[in-house]
Every structure is written in structure tokens, then in C-alpha cells.
Structure 1
Amino acid sequence: MAGHATPGGRRVEGFIDERSDAWAELVALLGRARGRVGRLPVEDALRLGDLYRATAADLARARQRWPGDPVVGELEALVGRARALVYRAPERRTSFVRWLTTGFFRRVRERPGVLLVAALLFWGPTVGMAVWAHGDPATATRVAQVSGLASGAADSANQGGDSRDRGLSTTQSASVGSEIFVNNIRVSFLAVALGLSGGLLTGALLVFNGSVVGVIVGLFVAGGAADVAVSFLAPHGVLELSLVTVAGAAGLRIGSALIAPGLRSRAEALVAEARAAGELVLGVALWLVPTGLVEGFVTPQGLEPAAALAVGLALGGTFWALVWWRGRPEVTPPH
């Protein structure tokens, strides 16, 4: 740093001459650290802290005595760089196993309000449309044409058949279950991506797909195939639709960061929530694997409704039990 002509120029240059070696040493240590104190030997790391505190004191002195001198700005920049390194929070490296058994479930549980909103947006239309479709199957069949999935299910539910399959062969029922599974995978990932709309499109997606599921269930029941619906949708559906809800919550978290970042800047909030959403969608993808296995190997067996419901509740119950148990916030011991 060079001296500058000011009314008190002699004193400024004397100050710079006296302290410039220490500042140069601090600059050199920052360069060697390359953003991480851990790259420095212990002695250099301790020296970095000493130089940072001394330079911060120099900055305070310069601000008081020569507030208009360019040396103040140069010191502010140097102190800012050093502060960011000295007080940088240590990186906590979490193993994949720990994340899978604990971290993911904490992500699911840490924003219960957003999770509740996602559940209402999805399950509210599901229940409402199921009741409506059961009461007015003719209109519901026409409405179902807006979705290829719902349309196919409506056609299958309305087919005639013997009393055992209630209009659906095992192949047809398994096909409907497979279509719903693939659709829910697509919806889960799309729900997160649409969070960039401020959460509006994520909410619309949840409402739409909840309505589709409701229409399908309502038409099955209206067609006298309630037992078939349970047998071929319940084994994998309870967990599957739970995961859709979690994915929806992930998208809403991104939306909330854009609309209401709180005390954080919008950029900081978006980075934090995008990371959380990424972890959530990865966990959802992994948990979709067992639903696919059940859909592929258990559902086609045509279980009795009670057994099918037991399998579905066991899978879904296990997931939410883990969210409650493993998702508890980490307790920090008092100092």
C-alpha cells in the first residue's frame, strides 16, 4: 500500500510505512490459505488470527484519524477478506449413510408448516374429487379425459367383468398401478423444479395431480371395484403419495425463499433452500425404489384388500415413523 497526499499526509505515510509489512504478511497468508484455514500449518493459522486482529485495529485507527484517505478503503477490503476466512464456519462433512439415516428425515421434518401446506394442496383435492367422482361418475368420466392417466383408469373401471375382478383383469390393474407410479416419479421431480415460480406452479401441480388420483379412486369405487382399487393401489400408493407430498414441500421451500426470504437476502435464502430441496428430492428418489419393487413384484399378485392395505400402511408408516424418530432436531449441548 502506498502513501497518499492528504492534509495529514506525513502522519498517514508514517502509519503506512510502520504497518505495511504486517499487512503484506496477512495478504500472503490469505493467498496461501486459498479460502481454508485448514490449508495452513498451525503456526501460520495462529499468526493469521493475530494479524487479522492487528489489522482490524489499524482499520479502526485509520477511520478515526484519516477518514477520507484511500488507505481506509484498502484496509476495509483486507480486513473483510481476513474476517471471512478467520470466522468461516467449519465445514461439517456428513457421510452418505448418516445423511440417509438421519439427515434426509431432518430435512423432511424441519419445515412442518411447508409440509402441511403441501399435504393440504395434494390430499385435499384427492379426497374431494374422490367423493365427487363417486357421486357423479358420468361427469367424472368426462372430466377424466383431461389426463391420459385418469382417462385410462376411467376406461378400465367402467369395463364389465366377473364379480371377482369387478371389471379389471390383473394385467389391466397392474398397468394402471404402473402408470400411476411413473406419473408420480415425474410429478415429484417436476414439483421441485417448479418451485422457481415462487411455488405457485408447484401448488398447482399438487392440486392437479391430487385431483387426478381422487378421480381415479372415485371411479373405481363408483364402478363397484373398491376392493380392486385397494388391492392394486394401496401396496405402493401410501408411500408413493407420501413422497409426492414431500417433493411438493421441497418445491414450496424454494418458492418461499423467493417470496419471503426473511432476514436473509433473497440470494442467500434461495441457495439454502435449493440445497435443502436437492437433498429432499434425492431422498425421495431413493425411497421411490422400494415402491417400484412393491409395484413390480407385490402388486401384480392381486392381494386381498386387507393384505394390500396392510402392506401399504406398513411401508408408509415406516417412512413417517422414521421422519418422526430420526428427523428430530439435533440437540446442542449447553456450553
Structure 2
Amino acid sequence: MWHRSGVDIDSFGAVREARWARLKKLSGARRLTGAEADELTRLYQATAGDLAAVRSAAPEPSVVARLSVLLAGARVWLTGAHTVSTRDVGRYLVTGLPAALHRVRWWGLGVTIAVLGLATLSGWWTVTHPEALALVGTPAERAAIADEEFASYYTEYDSTSFAARVWTNNGWLAAQCIAFGITGVFPLYLLYNTVLQLGVASAVMAEAGALDVFFQLLAPHGLLELSAVFVAAGTGLRLCWTMLVPGPRPRGRALAEEGRAAMGVALGLVLALLASGLIEGYVTGSALPWWLKVAIGAVAAAAFWAYIWIAGRAAVLAGSTGDTEGDLATDQVALAG
């Protein structure tokens, strides 16, 4: 048997098993009589007391998790299941989502600085070493890339289909970064490829004296697109770090909390990548003046980072954590000490 602080958790659960089973049955019923509704209320209050006792005296994770789920179901019945409303969505966009993004702000910023620095180094190395340029292609092939292919990429497709294709591709990459981030391998592999792609492309354009064209075509959508991808990679790496160094929290609980917050980050990045896809499809290859296109990209990226740092900080100060909140939030086990 498992004991802690004088509490026999097995005996405790055995004595109350009938009560918990009855609460589960009533919570799952589609309709209740007046007497059954009163009984559900009493059982809910009693089970809430049971959870408080377990958490304070013997925080056994499996029992806490079971009672948390049981109470969440009963709470939905008592308060009435509510549908998603525009108010719910608005509240999430103002508090939950920015708080979730704020949790990974330093990881996203660190990845951004590292990748841009390494990409600059990669571009300099490639353009200053003929043998490195030769790996890209012959002089004629490199000239074709700089003079035609790089710019035509943004105009050869219909704007709507191009924006949709870019959005789904980048959204899939960001989702993979978060989903497989716990391995630590996938985000680093993606970032490695990003460094090479940026470095080689900038080197080819610099060799042709068209580095200004490179930035004019990349900046409108790339500032926001790359920011979102870097935050996704940072989120994945944070999950890996949490697994290795959970801190004062139990490893399972730490991963669960950060994993739920990461799902919120994924939602935010899908929205950001949708915006960058629209910019890439309708602005980058358009006939607008290059300075206006760059300004649009800069404003979009600035808004994204301000949402993370400013709106995120305000949400955190308001009490939001970015973790699951509301009726289905899970109760947390108090840590000893």
C-alpha cells in the first residue's frame, strides 16, 4: 500500500469508490430529476473535499488526475455546457494565446538571433569561396537563378493558390517542429536547412550584384514567416529541454503543462503563417513599390513580436498562464516543500 503523511490512499479510495462511481454516473446522464440534480450537487461538493484532502495530505498523481476529470465532468453538468462564442474567442486571443506565446518568447528570440547570425556567416563563406559557389551550380546556372528564377518564383502562380500552398506548407513545418520538438532533432534539422537556404540564396544574389533584390523579395513575407517558424522551433526545443530539465515540477506534469501551452502556440503560429502566406501571395510579387512591400512586412513582423512580448506580458500579469483554463483545466498537485 502507498502511504504518505499518515494517509492510506488505497483505503481512502476504497471507502469513497461508491461515491465517485455514483458521481460519474450522474454526470454522464442526459437528464436528471430534481432529486438526482440535488444528489449530484452534494456528491460534487463531497468529491471536491476528497480532492482537497488528497492534494494536501497525499498528492498521488493518479488519484488527483482521476478526481480532476470526474469533477470537471460534473462541473460542466452543473454550470451548463457552453458553446464557443465570439466572446470566448476574443478572450482567448487577448489572454490565453498571447500568454502561451509569451512562455516561449526567449526561446523564439534566441533561435531567431542564432539562425540569422549563422545564415549571414553561411552567405559570407559561400560568396567568398569559389569552391563553395561551384557546389551550387555553374556560373551560368547561378546567373539564371539570380536573374530569373528567384523573382519568378513569386509570380508564376495564381496569388490565391500560391498563398494557400505557402500557408499549408509552412503551417505543416511549424506543427512538426512542435509535435516532434521533444526529440530535439527535428527543430535543429529544420533550422540547419534554413541556415543553408538563406546563406546560399543570399550568396548567389550577392555574386550577381542583386542582394537588394534578395531583401526586397524576402522581407515582405519573410520577416513574419521566418519569425513564426523560429518561434515554432523554439517551442519544440523548449519541450525537449523540459523533458531533460523539468525543474521543481515532476517531469510528467512539466511536460503536460508545456505541451498544452505548445498547442496554444501552434494555433497562434497558424494564424501568423496565414498572414505571411497572404502577404507572399498578394504583396511580394505585386507591382507595389518595393519600399511599401517591405514596410508591410516590417509592420506585420513588428505586430507579431509585440503580440508576444507586450500583449503576452499583459496577459500574464492578468493571471493567464497559457495553459488549459476554464472548466476542463486540470488540478495541480501541490509540491512538497
> Normalized against structure 2, the TM-score is what?
0.65
Q: Kindly provide the CA deviation profile for residues 46-100 of structure 1, in whole angstroms up to 9, marking residues without a partner as x.
A: 465458769999xxxxxxxxxxxxxxxxxx9xx9799657987989988233323
**Separation in 2 of the partners of 1:238 and 1:81?**
42
Asked if the contact 1:156/1:167 (under 8 Å) is kept, the reply is no
Quote the residue 1:318 is aligned against.
303
Q: Are 1:234 and 2:219 an aligned pair? A: yes
> Is the alpha carbon distance of 1:134 and 1:185 closer, same or farther for their aligned partners in structure 2, counting shifts above 3 Å?
farther
Percent sequence identity over aligned pairs: 26
Shift of 1:331: 2.5
- Which of 256, 259, 266 is the matching residue for 2:241? 256
**Separation in 1 of the partners of 2:153 and 2:236?**
31
Shift of 1:42: 5.8
Quote the residue 2:332 is aligned against.
none
- Which of 97, 121, 126 is the matching residue for 2:119? 126
**Separation in 1 of the partners of 2:276 and 2:149?**
22
Letter in 1 for 2:303: T
Quote the residue 1:8 is aligned against.
none
Letter in 1 for 2:239: I
- Which of 76, 94, 99 is the matching residue for 2:92? 99
RMSD: 4.4
Higher RCO structure (Cα 8 Å, ≥6 apart): 2
**Separation in 2 of the partners of 1:283 and 1:321?**
13
Asked if the contact 1:118/1:252 (under 8 Å) is kept, the reply is no
Letter in 2 for 1:158: A
Quote the residue 1:174 is aligned against.
154
> Is the alpha carbon distance of 1:244 and 1:86 closer, same or farther for their aligned partners in structure 2, counting shifts above 3 Å?
closer
SS across alignment from 2:154: helix
Letter in 2 for 1:321: A
SS across alignment from 2:248: coil
Gaps of at least 5 residues in structure 2 are 1-10, 54-59, 77-81, 321-337
SS across alignment from 1:298: helix
Shift of 1:157: 5.2
Letter in 2 for 1:141: L
SS across alignment from 2:265: helix
Letter in 1 for 2:148: L
Letter in 2 for 1:331: A
**Separation in 2 of the partners of 1:128 and 1:139?**
16
Q: Kindly provide the CA deviation profile for residues 248-272 of structure 1, in whole angstroms up to 9, marking residues without a partner as x.
A: 1221132123222223333323322
**Separation in 2 of the partners of 1:56 and 1:211?**
54
Aligned length: 277
SS across alignment from 1:168: helix
Residues 81-92 of structure 1: matches in 2 within 5 Å?
84=68
Asked if the contact 1:49/1:86 (under 8 Å) is kept, the reply is no
Residues 11-160 of structure 1: matches in 2 within 5 Å?
26-27=19-20, 29-32=22-25, 34=27, 41=37, 44-46=40-42, 49=45, 84=68, 95-136=88-129, 138-144=130-136, 158-159=143-144
> Is the alpha carbon distance of 1:28 and 1:299 closer, same or farther for their aligned partners in structure 2, counting shifts above 3 Å?
closer
- Which of 191, 206, 211 is the matching residue for 2:177? 191
- Segment drifting more, 298-307 vs 318-327: 298-307
**Separation in 2 of the partners of 1:144 and 1:96?**
48
**Separation in 2 of the partners of 1:332 and 1:159?**
55
Quote the residue 2:274 is aligned against.
289
Larger Rg: 1
Asked if the contact 2:126/2:203 (under 8 Å) is kept, the reply is yes
**Separation in 2 of the partners of 1:285 and 1:55?**
37
SS across alignment from 1:174: coil
Q: Are 1:331 and 2:318 an aligned pair? A: yes
Quote the residue 2:325 is aligned against.
none
Gaps of at least 5 residues in structure 1 are 1-15, 17-21, 58-75, 146-150, 161-165
**Separation in 2 of the partners of 1:251 and 1:54?**
37
